[in-house]
Amino acid sequence: MSQDLLSIGELAAESGLSAKALRLYDESGLLVPRRVDPVTGYRFSGADQVGRARLIASLRGLGMGLARIHILCDLDGAAAASELRSWWRQEAADALSRAVAVRDLVAALGQHPMEDTMITTTTPARTASALHIGLERTAQEDAVLIQAVPGGRTLLAAADGFHESGDLATSLLAAFADALAADPSADALTALETAWSAAEALAPTEGEAGSTLTAALLDGNRLHIAHLGDTRVMLVRAGRLEHVTQDHTQVRSLLEAGRLSPEEAASHPDRRVLNRALAAGAPSAPDLLVRRLEPGDLVVVATDGLHAVVDPSALAEALTSEAEPEALAASLIDLALAAGGPDNVGVALARV
């Protein structure tokens, strides 16, 4: 084979993309093979197409559709840049239109009364937490916290520091918990917003260091969540696992919107890059979520050292077991380490 030709596997290795994503680009006509073996049907790309493959992946990572990418990739540099700017102007206008629609819906939904009343319980949740530095890290930048909050509430929280953040994660959780306990008469949503402001005040104002922060407040038959970053809240009910929160990465949001395929998202070079966090220059407002709780539910807050490392089926199998909290927390750490343990890992859980 000519040195100028690459198999799909070789092109994947050179470009850093998955073979499945490259096949999608081939099938859509974006990467026309330079040679097709007449006997085997194997398709070979030119070595000079590595840059084009990376450009396609970058444009897909912005959310551009395949048809528009086909147009852009056939233009020269200045014309391609103009095409990209034009596409983005419309994307920005669409976002503004959606923002108006969201504002109106929020106002309308705010007028709706709750369908049921709050039920309190005197049975405390069974809780456990675990923290491990991992097998490759030299510093522990994750932190977890379980704390009883005045008013019969229980706080589960985790923070994941990054870029040599030191004890930032621990400080964030302490500030959050202190503020949450300061006004036990406040409703859960107000309490979370106040606590978030206290933690947010500690976010770095310069440099690259920062942290995620995810807090789950168990309050009777309600689970109230404040979430930012890629630490996750998972809820297990009757043997079924729900990932309640969504990772705050551009790639993840495009996947959720159907603008990236799972294969593209899995191999995208920016798939782990956060676009919301407690860090300098980053949007730091949290998602505020509410879920109903039922007796026997399992609530898990875990850093990405667990959910991004452990095989999803193995994680689901562990979480849907009937293990007691202490044993389950320890087994989750073991799963992360068995999968290579490349990152710090922290977990806090409660069975209600």
Q: How high is the pLDDT of residue 166? A: 95
Tokens of 206: 């310069």
**CA geometry: angle 244, 143, 269, nearest 5 deg:** 60
* Domain annotation for the chain: domains and CATH numbers: 5-74 (1.10.1660.10), 126-351 (3.60.40.10)
Residue 1: the pLDDT is: 43
Q: How big is the CA angle at 211 (ends 319 and 207), to the nearest 5 degrees?
A: 155
232-237/35-36 β-pairing: unpaired
Residue 231 contacts by C-beta under 8 Å, 6 or more apart in sequence? 158, 159, 160, 212, 213, 214, 245, 301, 302, 303, 304
CB 179 within 8 A of CB 213: no
| Predicted local distance difference test score (pLDDT) of residue 14 | 87
So what's the pLDDT on residue 3? 55
Q: Write out the chain's pLDDT in tens, 352 residues.
A: 445 899 988 998 888 888 888 988 998 899 989 999 898 888 899 998 999 999 998 898 888 988 899 999 989 889 999 999 999 988 888 888 888 888 888 888 876 555 554 445 557 899 999 999 999 999 999 999 999 999 899 999 999 999 999 999 999 999 999 999 998 889 999 999 999 999 999 999 999 999 999 999 999 999 999 999 999 999 999 999 999 998 998 787 777 777 788 878 777 777 778 889 999 999 999 999 999 999 999 999 999 999 999 999 999 999 999 899 999 999 999 999 999 999 999 999 999 9
